[in-house]
Amino acid sequence: MQRYFIETAIENLRISGEDARHIERVMRMKQGDQIVVVAQNIAHICTITGFEGDEVVVDATGETIPSSELPIQITVACGLPKGDKLELITQKATELGMFALLPFEAERSIVKWDKKKGAKKQERLQKIAKEAAEQAHRTHIPTVYEPVTFKQLLQEIDQFDAVFIADEEDAKAEKRTRFADKLRLVHDQKLTSMLIIFGPEGGISRIESEALLQAGAQTMSLGPRILRAETAPLYALSAISYEFE
């Protein structure tokens, strides 16, 4: 069944905008067809009861679908990468269970966030996250935040139970800090939120790494191979899913 998100409570069930057009014109659904509507992070099986103007009217059947969310909220902080890599990270990380995406202006970021076009860019990324959440049968759409400065990123660290940095210098070391070992500790301690930080092309600088460690972050190794900026977050999310699910 197709899945749609609404911002209202399930008792006030009308679907409008692009989702309504998708139901009627793309999927060509009719009265009596069933869809999944996610309201307040709960997936409800609903029946289409009619079409009124630009809105689709649906009724909840009373049946719900179990949540597929990770048992820990993972926020991904990534240094602004080149090209359309941020779109790829948004889409694939959403499919893998990311809770939120926090881009930041890293020392080695080549790309600069265009403030004039920033709102449209952020809106596009949020739309990508919504579509990926629907495709992955999630009950939460990750929030894609406007990029922050590195100083602002440091100020966010205290908001999380655990914070890890993907540091390529750790990966090069003969004795690496295995991410799997640290994830087991997080799991055993029943922590509920985690921030994982990734650099842009070129990685995290030594100054940034030291500042993050002093703020309470820990390093993590994603294996002996050096991963691309867009690959590392997906690797880490896959490892978290393996450990927690």
* Comparison of pLDDT for 13 and 147, the residue scoring more: 147
Residues 144 and 74: their CA atoms lie apart, in Å, by 13
Task: Identify the three-state secondary structure at position 87.
Answer: helix
Query: CA angle, corner 235, sides to 234 and 241, nearest 5?
Result: 85
- Per-residue pLDDT of 212-224, as tens digits, reads 999 999 998 887 8
Q: Which residues pair with 39 in a beta bridge?
A: 6, 42
Q: Residues 25-66: pLDDT tens digits?
A: 999 999 999 999 999 999 999 999 999 989 999 999 999 999
How many residues appear in the chain?
245
Structure tokens, 7: 């911002």
| Residue 21 burial (CB count, 10 A) | 14
**For residues 80 and 109, is the Cβ–Cβ distance under 8 A?**
yes
**Tokens at 238, concatenated:** 């896959």
113/36: higher pLDDT: 36
**pLDDT tens, position by position, 139-189:** 999 999 999 999 999 999 999 999 999 987 666 666 767 888 899 999 999
* pLDDT tens, residue by residue, 224-239: 888 899 999 999 999 9
CA 23 to chain centroid, in Å, comes to 25
pLDDT in tens, 125-138: 999 999 999 999 99
pLDDT at 226 (0 to 100): 84
pLDDT of residue 103: 96
CA-to-CA dists, residue 60 to 12, 35, 39, 103, angstroms? 10, 10, 11, 37
Q: Is the pLDDT of residue 11 over 80?
A: no
The string of DSSP codes covering 118-151 is: HHHHHHHHHHHHHHHHHHTT-S-PPEEPPPEEHH
Percent of the chain with pLDDT over 90: 78
pLDDT on residue 15: 92
Give the pLDDT band of residue 206 (cuts 50, 70, 90): very high
Indicate the SS3 state at residue 117.
Answer: helix
pLDDT the model gives residue 10: 79
Between helices 232-244 and 179-188, what is the axis angle to 10°?
A: 40
Q: pLDDT by residue (tens digit) across 75-89?
A: 999 999 998 999 999
| Residue range 7-34: mean pLDDT, rounded | 90
Q: Report the chain's terminal Cα–Cα distance, integer Å.
A: 24
222-229 contacts: CB < 8 A, separation 24 or more? 222/166, 222/171, 222/179, 223/171, 224/171, 224/172, 224/176, 225/171, 226/168, 226/171, 226/172, 227/166, 228/201, 229/78, 229/79, 229/81, 229/85, 229/198, 229/199, 229/200, 229/201
pTM confidence score:
0.92
